[in-house]
């Protein structure tokens, strides 16, 4: 059947296939956002909705920040697009230099992409190619972790550990193994910050090395704090132990900081917060405040130099890149975002609000359905008891009722995650958790 212009309807909801959404359910009762400023969205029916999830963990400086908006507007009128292959433009070099001045240790080189998923694929490819250039071409295995989320590319879902994101898509990448999740309800429920139980789970990496032999393993990838699986904070000392084991066996350590990067924990990066330096670090989201899609993969000096030294003079060192790597609008947004983070001291602000946030989150202990509360920096996960035979149903009801009550939070299964813009005020923290408490009493 052909369609004609006369059949086009701007209000047709059918054409769009929405991501990670129950399409039929949504379309029968749509929720639309039409504007945003600071801490609030405006819904299609004119309501102000408190953004309790920084969009999707990305709008750390708040919505429609004047400085970021002006920078993107000026850039689009000056240079709208420039190829990233064999040609540069000033803003991408300026942003790269600016970023590596903020990263810890010698994470001094940065490769740009457009999304967290691309950043993860880039990092995994870098790790395997790095080992080959070092003369260790048998190191091709990648080690992820159960409950890990690393986006939706084949690389990311292979090392990731969320079953629904994996089970539909065949055998995935070969040669991948997984560390166990660091979470135990029995030993960790209602912990404030880092749990004291679970350090021994890092030693599972020794078991995996013993099973496959170090000579087959290229890299380990973990999120410093698991976000999408429901805010799983690492046990005290866990990341340091992983670092030690990786060093012992010549394995690269990749931190996926797509959520933890740019202030979420009250430090620039999770690597700073936990004082553990990975070899490669992936970021996205807060890099541009969510304004223009962009991701950045940071590589330590030894990684970058292995590529530079490993290729003949005049040869391309890494056969990888995207049409929109270092896109001018993304770079303008990134530079302006870095200005705002610095001028408004937002990472320090997150650190100073974290104790208040923690108390507010844990005030929900004892509320109906709540079986665990976890927190770190300006992130909290509130886990609800699933309805018998209907996992996720209570969480979904929580999400829709919160939205109707003027609060946007992220819900995965029966876990509510809150991660607001870092500009949040104490009264808005109160509003957020009071609304959650009220809705918890309303849902079945
Ligand atoms: C840790 C982590 N890695 C990767 C991704 C994927 O990012 P994107 O959705 O931009 O591809 C996400 C997204 O939430 C994430 O949390």
- pLDDT tens, position by position, 417-433: 999 999 999 999 999 99
Distance, in Å, from the CA atom of 85 to the CA atom of 310, rounded to the nearest integer, reads: 20
Q: Rg for the chain (alpha carbons), in Å?
A: 22
What integer is the mean pLDDT of 254-264? 98
Ligand 1 atom nearest residue 223's Cα: 1
Question: Ligand 1: which atom is nearest the Cα of residue 115?
Answer: 10
Domains of the chain, start order: 15-64+345-442 (3.90.1150.10), 69-343 (3.40.640.10)
pLDDT surpassing 80 at residue 5: no
Indicate which atom in ligand 1 lies nearest the CA of residue 153: 11
pLDDT surpasses 80 at 6: no
Q: Which ligand 1 atom sits closest to the C-alpha of 156? A: 4
Distance CA 96, CA 296 (A): 9
Ligand 1 centre from 282 Cα, in Å? 9
- Say what the pLDDT of residue 10 is: 78
Question: What's the 256 CA to ligand 1 centre distance in angstroms?
Answer: 8
Q: Distance between CA 97 and CA 292 in Å, rounded?
A: 19
Which of 151, 227, 419 most suits a substitution to test ligand 1, by most atoms within 8 Å of the C-beta? 151
Of 221, 186, 188, the residue nearest 205 (C-alpha): 221
Of 24, 70, 55, 85, residue with least CA distance to 318: 85
Say if residue 231 is exposed, middle or buried (CB neighbours under 10 Å; 0-12, 13-18, 19+).
buried
Under DSSP, the state recorded for 368 is T
The average pLDDT across 26-44 equals: 96
% of the chain exceeding 70 in pLDDT: 99
Once rounded to an integer, what is the mean pLDDT over residues 328-340? 98
Average pLDDT, the chain: 97
The predicted pLDDT at position 4 comes to: 52
Q: Looking at ligand 1, which residue's alpha carbon is closest to its atom 3?
A: 150
Better-predicted residue by pLDDT, 4 or 413: 413
| Beta carbons of 350 and 264 less than 8 angstroms apart | yes
The alpha carbon torsion through 398, 372, 356, 283 (nearest 10 deg) reads: -80
Distance, CA of 373 to CA of 395 (rounded, Å): 14
Nearest CA to ligand 1 atom 13: 151
Average pLDDT, stretch 346-355? 98
pLDDT of residue 20 exceeding 70, the answer is yes
Nearest to 274 by CA among 228, 238, 298: 238
Nearest residue by C-alpha to atom 7 in ligand 1: 116
Alpha-carbon gap, residue 304 to 309, rounded angstroms: 9
Checking if the pLDDT of 155 tops 80, the result is: yes
Strand segments (E) across 284-393: 295-299, 370-376, 379-384
Length of the chain, please?
Answer: 444
pLDDT above 90 covers what percent of the chain? 98
- Could you report the per-residue pLDDT of 95-113, keeping only the tens digit for each? 999 999 999 999 999 999 9
Res. 210: pLDDT tops 50: yes
Q: Is the pLDDT of residue 164 over 80?
A: yes
Task: Read off the pLDDT of each residue in 66-93 and give the average, rounded to a whole number.
Answer: 98
Q: Which of 258, 280, 293 should be mutated for ligand 1, with most atoms under 8 A from CB? A: 258
- Give residue 441 CA to ligand 1 midpoint distance, Å: 32
- DSSP annotation of 106 reads T
**Ligand 1 site: residues with CB under 6 angstroms?**
115-117, 120, 149-151, 223, 227-228, 256, 258-259, 284
- Mutation test of ligand 1: which of 149, 283, 286 has the most ligand atoms closer than 8 Å to its C-beta? 149
| pLDDT band at residue 8 under the 50/70/90 scheme | confident
Helix axes 66-78, 328-343, angle to 10 degrees: 150
CA–centroid distance for 240 within its chain: 21
The answer to whether the beta carbons of residues 357 and 429 sit under 8 Å apart is yes
pLDDT value at residue 1: 45
User: Please, what sign has the CA dihedral across residues 225, 228, 229, 230?
Assistant: positive
Q: What is the distance in A from the centroid of ligand 1 to the CA of 117?
A: 6
From the CA of 117, give the closest atom in ligand 1.
11
Residue among 21, 53, 60, 117 whose CB has most ligand 1 atoms within 8 A, to mutate: 117
């Amino acid at each position: 059947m052909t369609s004609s212009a006369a059949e086009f309807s701007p209000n047709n909801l059918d054409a769009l296939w929405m991501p990670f959404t129950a399409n039929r359910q949504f379309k029968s009762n749509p929720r639309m956002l039409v504007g945003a400023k600071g801490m609030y969205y405006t819904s299609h029916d004119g309501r102000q909705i408190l953004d309790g999830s920084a969009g999707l963990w990305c709008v750390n400086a708040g919505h429609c920040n004047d400085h970021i908006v002006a920078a993107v507007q000026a850039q689009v009128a000056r240079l709208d697009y420039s190829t990233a292959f064999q040609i540069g433009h000033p803003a991408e070099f300026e942003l790269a230099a600016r970023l590596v001045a903020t990263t810890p240790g010698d994470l001094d080189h940065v490769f740009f992409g457009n999304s967290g998923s691309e950043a993860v694929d880039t990092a995994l490819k870098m790790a395997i190619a790095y080992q080959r250039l070092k003369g260790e071409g048998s190191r091709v295995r990648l080690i992820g972790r159960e409950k890990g989320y690393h986006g939706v590319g084949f690389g990311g879902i292979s090392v990731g550990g969320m079953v629904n994101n994996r089970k539909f898509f065949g055998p995935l990448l070969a040669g991948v193994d997984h560390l166990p999740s660091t979470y135990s309800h029995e030993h960790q429920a209602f912990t404030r910050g880092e749990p004291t139980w679970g350090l021994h789970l890092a030693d599972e990496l020794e078991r995996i090395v013993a099973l496959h032999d170090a000579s087959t393993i290229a890299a380990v990838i973990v999120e410093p704090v698991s976000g999408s699986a429901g805010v799983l904070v690492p046990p005290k000392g866990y990341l340091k132990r992983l670092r030690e084991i990786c060093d012992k066996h010549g394995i690269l350590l990749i931190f996926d900081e797509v959520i933890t990067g740019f202030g979420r924990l009250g430090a620039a990066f999770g690597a700073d917060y936990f004082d553990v330096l990975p070899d490669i670090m992936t970021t996205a989201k807060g890099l541009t405040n969510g304004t223009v899609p962009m991701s950045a993969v940071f590589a330590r000096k030894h990684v970058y130099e292995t590529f530079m030294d490993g290729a003949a003079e005049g040869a391309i060192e890494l056969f990888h890149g995207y049409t929109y790597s270092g896109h001018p609008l993304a770079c303008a947004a990134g530079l302006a975002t870095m200005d705002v983070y610095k001028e408004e001291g937002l990472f320090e602000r997150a650190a100073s609000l974290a104790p208040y946030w923690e108390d507010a989150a844990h005030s929900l202990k004892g509320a109906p359905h709540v079986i665990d509360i976890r927190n770190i920096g300006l992130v909290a996960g509130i886990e609800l008891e699933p309805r018998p035979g209907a996992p996720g149903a209570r969480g979904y009801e929580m999400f829709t009722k919160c939205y109707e009550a003027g609060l946007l939070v992220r819900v995965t299964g029966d876990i509510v995650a809150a991660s607001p813009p870092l500009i949040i005020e104490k009264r808005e923290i109160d509003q957020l958790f009071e609304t959650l408490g009220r809705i918890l009493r309303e849902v079945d």
